[in-house]
């Protein structure tokens, strides 16, 4: 990819379309060897009529088997890489999103934008471009306790009083700038925000994990350090 210089034709060659950097410290969550990212949303679930959006950056190499990039609850929603396809699965339905693998060791931005009002729609964005639109009529609300990064959780039936959970489809890779909004964002806002940090008090934001936080060092300078805390400034549990 080439970033053109309109003034003096000193063009800049980029490694890829998402080859961007921030002019200070930046960290990301790394998952490997079956590790799972767990985000507690028990205090900020949505009703069947509420809009919501989940967005994040991810990066990974080709996986040896089907790998869940993000899932909700006990298989309520599952966005996964299966071979060369990214798929969206819910309510025993599977919808292909792409036919080209995104596990190419490059950063990609994914957004799941759910509009429950009116006719309703579910739009999936990849790197700022809408790649799939579905009806929101049967699409699940976020009526679960957790969002999972890098795995899918299912229930194994037990007796009448016990049951067990099992995790499957592990994903090996990286995540950054995870955001959960209780609201619907326009495509313009998604593209506008995807390359920028968000203010902690952004309206409708329920959870924000940039995987770093600001601190004042001994020289009274603002610095960024790795962190798993929720930066949206609301009373939400930290990342697990």
Determine the average pLDDT of the residues in 90-101.
90
d(CA 32, CA 171): 7
Burial class (CB in 10 A: 0-12, 13-18, 19+), 164: exposed
Determine the average pLDDT of the residues in 202-228.
79
With bands split at pLDDT 50, 70 and 90, how would you rate the model's confidence at 237?
A: very low
Q: Is the pLDDT reported for residue 101 higher than 90?
A: no
d(CA 204, CA 103): 31
d(CA 35, CA 22): 27
Looking at residue 200, what is its pLDDT? 74
d(CA 95, CA 240): 29
The answer to pTM > 0.75 is yes
**Taking all residues of the chain, what is their mean pLDDT, rounded to a whole number?**
85
- CA 235 to mean position of chain CA atoms: 20
Q: pLDDT tens across 177-195, in order?
A: 999 999 989 999 999 999 9
- DSSP for 54-99? EEEEEEEPPPSS-EEEEEETTTTEEEEEETTEEEEEETTEEEEEES
Q: Is the pLDDT reported for residue 64 higher than 70?
A: yes
């Amino acid at each position: 990819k080439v970033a053109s210089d309109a003034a003096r034709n000193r063009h800049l060659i980029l490694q890829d379309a998402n080859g961007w950097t921030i002019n200070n410290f930046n960290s990301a969550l790394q998952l490997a060897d079956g590790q799972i990212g767990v985000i507690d949303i028990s205090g900020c679930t949505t009703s069947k009529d509420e809009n919501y959006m989940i967005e994040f950056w991810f990066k990974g190499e080709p996986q040896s088997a089907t790998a869940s990039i993000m899932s909700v609850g006990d298989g309520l929603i599952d966005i996964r890489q299966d071979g060369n396809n990214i798929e969206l699965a819910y309510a025993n339905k599977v919808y292909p999103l792409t036919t080209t693998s995104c596990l190419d060791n490059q950063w990609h931005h994914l957004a799941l934008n759910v509009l429950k009002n009116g006719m309703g729609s579910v739009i999936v964005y990849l790197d700022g471009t809408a790649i799939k639109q579905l009806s929101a009529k049967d699409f699940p609300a976020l009526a679960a306790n957790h969002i999972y990064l890098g795995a899918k959780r299912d229930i194994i039936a037990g007796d009448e009083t016990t049951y067990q959970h099992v995790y499957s489809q592990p994903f090996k890779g990286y995540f950054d700038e995870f955001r959960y909004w209780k609201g619907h964002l326009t495509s313009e806002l998604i593209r506008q925000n995807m390359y920028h940090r968000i203010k902690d008090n952004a309206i409708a934001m329920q959870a924000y994990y940039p995987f770093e936080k600001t601190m004042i060092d001994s020289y009274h300078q603002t610095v960024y350090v790795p962190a798993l805390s929720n930066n949206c400034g609301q009373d939400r549990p930290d990342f697990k």
